[in-house]
């Protein structure tokens, strides 16, 4: 079935270090979305990538969508304690169902 794999599961960094999480699908995605969930909170939308090879930036966050539309990454430059949380990618395979398949997430902890 359709599955989105996300690595690493956990990442511990020192404040100021960079962080990257990777998402991979065995089949081509229609588009991919990224969400952030703070501890005890709910997922909040960050961005959607649609085009092959697309790169989008939001301040210290850089999102990429692979050329084959099967993988994606989120890179955070110079992490801050406010970046703590779990980052999820969510793949849309198109079709009429319209539901997103979420990766298991990468839990980021930042040591001040």
Partner 1 sequence: NAGVMQNPRHLVRRRGQEARLRCSPMKGHSHVYWYRQLPEEGLKFMVYLQKENIIDESGMPKERFSAEFPKEGPSILRIQQVVRGDSAAYFCASSQWQPSTGELFFGEGSRLTVL
Pairing of strands 85-92, 101-102: antiparallel
* Interaction between residue 48 and partner 1 (CB under 8 A): yes
Pairing of strands 10-14, 106-111: parallel
Edge to edge, the sheet with strand 19-25 lists 4-7, 19-25, 71-76, 61-65, 55-58
* Interaction between residue 99 and partner 1 (CB under 8 A): yes
* Interaction between residue 28 and partner 1 (CB under 8 A): no
* Interaction between residue 45 and partner 1 (CB under 8 A): yes
> Which residues are at the interface with partner 1 (CB under 8 A)?
6, 30-31, 33, 35, 41-45, 48, 88, 90, 92, 94, 96-105, 107
């Amino acid at each position: 079935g359709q599955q989105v794999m996300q690595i690493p599961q956990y990442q511990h960094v020192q404040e100021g270090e960079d962080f990257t999480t990777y998402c991979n699908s065995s089949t081509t995605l229609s588009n991919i979305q990224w969400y952030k969930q703070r501890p005890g909170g709910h997922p909040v939308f960050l961005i959607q990538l649609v085009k092959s090879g697309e790169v989008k930036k939001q301040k210290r966050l850089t999102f990429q969508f692979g050329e084959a539309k099967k993988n994606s990454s989120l890179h955070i430059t110079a992490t801050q304690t406010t970046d703590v949380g779990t980052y999820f990618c969510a793949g849309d395979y198109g079709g009429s169902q319209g539901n997103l398949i979420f990766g298991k997430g990468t839990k980021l902890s930042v040591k001040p």
